[in-house]
Structure 1
Amino acid sequence: MKKDHNDFQILKTVEADSSVSQRKLSSQMELNVASVNFALKRLIQKGFIMKEGVNPRRVTYHITPEGLREKTHLAYKFFDRNIHYYKEVRSDIEARILKAVEGREVSLAIYGASEHSEITYMVISKMGWNFLGFFLEESRIPDEKILDYNVQGVGELKGDNKCLLLLTDKCPKDILDDLGKKNIETLSVVDYFND
């Protein structure tokens, strides 16, 4: 599985940038250069990548039509494997939300700005409930949007919203205490992603 992941990353990177160096691949993939070199040689031997040039500073790599087919095959393989994980995450988060609200009608919001926040948003968007947005403490708000939403300061949440804030990131105790004073309920899903 790790080999497939490495092969996919190399094929994807070479397709996007034929002049990518082994050192850059090594850095991007967090592998040592020797492992990248070995993987590249194997992909060249299989006919998935073609190497041009002899000078290590001017070598270019090109993905072959067979390499494109292999990259697509690996992508489908990962998708098939991960769709089961997503379905499990979705049903677990839905069940946690339904248990927390006990039949009451509430809006949902997400505390966090990470991949876990995005996965949680995909789950709750399927539920069709009112979504208030992504929230963080002021000092951690990123410059870019998340799924076309601006990340807002957690202080913007008001207690009269009847809101359940899903924690997809660790939240400081003082903020949790402040939310409790505003009668904003929280539900942590951090532990689910860290298992």
Structure 2
Amino acid sequence: MERSAERELEILRAIGEGVPLTQRALAERLGVALGLTNLYLKRLAKKGYIKIAEFRKKPAARKRLRYVLTPTGIREKTRLTYEHVAYALNLYRRTRQTLREELHRFPESGLKRVALHGTDEAAELAYLTLKEAGLEPVAVFGTRGGGQFIGLPVRAVTELVPEEYDAVIVATFDRPEPQRAELMRLGVAPDKILTLRRLERAHGDGPAA
């Protein structure tokens, strides 16, 4: 599912909740700039999915905008929701299968020290797949340290010592290249870096012992 479609679905969901909504609040919810949020709203209105109405609580008050889903918008929200669910299920299925294939030989070869780089939904999926393979992550890293994930402290990725791990899984459904490049800058060998999106190693036949 394309990012623009995901954002349109999130906007339609937010408007469908029926709670008064400002563009600024919507931009924060989407995690995008205010100007981009405005463009999305205009595009949805042009498609006939939402109506934008002006109102004032008091005669002297600054005008405010109200967003309402149209019947067409409700149908589109349903369609996008179904598409999103189907996409997510397919993504999870493919990711788990690929990771299973990558990890099945780890116990046989004695490789056990696996670290996760990430703490979101993708990391949860990677953790479950590791458990199925009889493995437990021994460390969790994030862009910044702090908090816990699966019972382990989340450490800043800059603290990672490459020699301590047989493999590092970049746990993200987005493009893994930035995290992969960062790990390589920290000294992690390319053949020790696994990604969920496409588990192709740059060199070698497997993680180094």
Fold match by TM threshold 0.5 = yes
Contact 1:22–1:37 (CA under 8 A) maintained in structure 2 = no
Q: Which whole-Å CA distance do the structure 1 matches of 2:152 and 2:96 have between them?
A: 21
Pair 1:124-2:130 in alignment = yes
Q: Which whole-Å CA distance do the structure 2 matches of 1:158 and 1:75 have between them?
A: 44
Which amino acid in 2 is paired with 1:21? Q
Pair 1:142-2:148 in alignment = no
User: Cα–Cα, structure 1 residues 57 and 187, in superposed 2: closer, same or farther, change >3 Å?
Assistant: farther
1:88-107 paired onto structure 2 within 5 Å? 88-99=94-105, 101=106, 103-107=108-112
- Seq. identity, %: 14
Pair 1:176-2:198 in alignment = no
Contact 2:23–2:38 (CA under 8 A) maintained in structure 1 = no
Q: Which whole-Å CA distance do the structure 1 matches of 2:150 and 2:45 have between them?
A: 35
SS in 2 for 1:120: helix
**What TM-score comes out, normalization by structure 2 length?**
0.58
User: Which ranges in structure 2 are unaligned for 5 or more consecutive residues?
Assistant: 57-61, 171-178, 201-209
User: Which ranges in structure 1 are unaligned for 5 or more consecutive residues?
Assistant: 178-185
Cα RMSD of the aligned pairs, angstroms, is 4.3
Q: Which whole-Å CA distance do the structure 2 matches of 1:38 and 1:22 have between them?
A: 17
By how many angstroms is 1:8 displaced? 0.6
By how many angstroms is 1:121 displaced? 2.5
1:24-173 paired onto structure 2 within 5 Å? 25=27, 28-29=31-32, 31=36, 33-42=38-47, 45-46=48-49, 49=50, 51-54=52-55, 57-63=63-69, 70-99=76-105, 101=106, 103-113=108-118, 115=120, 116-135=122-141, 140-146=143-149, 149-152=152-155, 154=159, 164-168=166-170, 169-170=179-180, 171-173=183-185
| 1:21 corresponds to | 23
Which amino acid in 2 is paired with 1:176? V
Which structure shows the bigger proportion of residues in helix conformation?
Answer: 1
**What TM-score comes out, normalization by structure 1 length?**
0.61
Which amino acid in 1 is paired with 2:38? V
Q: Which whole-Å CA distance do the structure 2 matches of 1:127 and 1:40 have between them?
A: 49
Which has the higher mean CA deviation after the structures are superposed, 105-114 or 7-16?
Answer: 105-114
By how many angstroms is 1:22 displaced? 7.8
Q: Deviations over 1:95-121 (max 9, x none)?
A: 12224x261354343242265544432
Pair 1:12-2:13 in alignment = yes
Aligned length: 177
